[in-house]
Amino acid sequence: MGTNYMMTADEVAAELGISKGHAYKMIRQMNEELEKAGFIVVAGKIPRAFWEKKFFGYQTSA
């Protein structure tokens, strides 16, 4: 089916070369930002599109 819409802490940790605990901390911080903007969030996961925009400055179209 392709790439999952949501990224897990394992994927974030692997992408950045950080610990899983630190990845959870980053996800929590980004989810707080999304929640303040009025979006619904899923604990422990981050939308891939938001991740790409936040870290790379662009979004991919699926």
Q: Give counts: helices (H), strands (E), the chain.
A: 3, 2
Q: Say whether pTM exceeds 0.95.
A: no
pLDDT, greater one: 23 or 58: 23
Token duo for residue 23: 């990845």
**Separation between Cα atoms, residue 28 and residue 49, nearest integer Å:** 16
**Mean pLDDT over the full length of the chain:** 89
pLDDT score, position 1: 42
Could you tell me which of 20, 8, 2, 1 has the C-alpha nearest to residue 51?
Answer: 8
60 vs 52: CA distance, rounded Å? 8
